[in-house]
Amino acid sequence: MKFFVDTAEIDAIAELNDLGMVDGVTTNPSLILKSGRDIIEVTAEICALVDGPVSAEVVAMEAEAMIAEGRKLAEIADNITIKLPLTWDGLKACKVLSDEGRMVNVTLCFSANQALLAAKAGATFISPFIGRLDDIHLDGMDLIADIRTIYDNYGYETNILAASIRSVNHVQDCALVGADVMTAPPEVIKKLATHPLTDKGLEQFMADWAKTGQNIL
């Protein structure tokens, strides 16, 4: 499973990228707001830092304007993925921009039928939002599994990009049900390395080592 980082914070992306943990980046208008940066400038910096796809989201609501914004965002770098909302206009823009050979990420997906439409419109990525479904007491992971089944049934090549990930359990469950990619905040990715038994075991080893009175260097 590929790891995308869900942030527009350059330092956090760089830290994970140095460890080889970053296969791509996703941003959205809320993350741009949180960064306090200009969308074009910060996206260009992210694209220069990371080799993989970097999603930048349009903000127009109508297809023609989405296409124009998408083309402008794509000028930033070759690894830009144009992020479009899963609306009828977003699907129209997806078809046009995909036919132009551009990478498209269709976002705000909350049903398997929406994912089916995005695949038919040529999306490179579909972004089902797990956490926001869990927030309203629906099972976001069921949606990932349903989309996996449908795409495999018909051989759709659209990548399932599991989004709105809030916990380490979400990451593990996405891998188990076969999401192609997951995008998570940096803090969730770093938390994957932690386990209370690792901490406890290390504490015991360090205590015993101190008693040996030895040094390695």
Site of interaction with ligand E4P (CB under 6 A)? 6, 26, 28, 107, 127, 129, 131-132, 163-164, 183
| Nearest Cα residue to 110 out of 128, 124, 126 | 128
Give min distance, CB of 129 to ligand E4P, in A: 5
| Closer of 69 and 217 to ligand E4P (Cβ) | 69
Nearer Cβ to ligand E4P (34/200)? 34
Q: How far is the CB of 187 from ligand E4P (least distance, A)?
A: 12
Q: Which CB atom, from 129 or from 213, has the smaller least distance to ligand E4P?
A: 129
Residue 35 buriedness (CB in 10 A; 0-12 / 13-18 / 19+): middle
Does the annotation count 83 as an active-site position?
A: yes
Q: Which is nearer to ligand E4P, 136 or 197 (CB)?
A: 136
Catalytic residue among 83, 120, 200, 211: 83
Which residue number is nearest to ligand E4P in terms of Cβ?
A: 164
Cβ at position 133, least distance to ligand E4P in Å: 10
10 Å CB burial of residue 197 (0-12, 13-18, 19+) is: exposed
CB of 127 to ligand E4P, least distance (A): 5
Could you give the residue numbers annotated as active site?
83
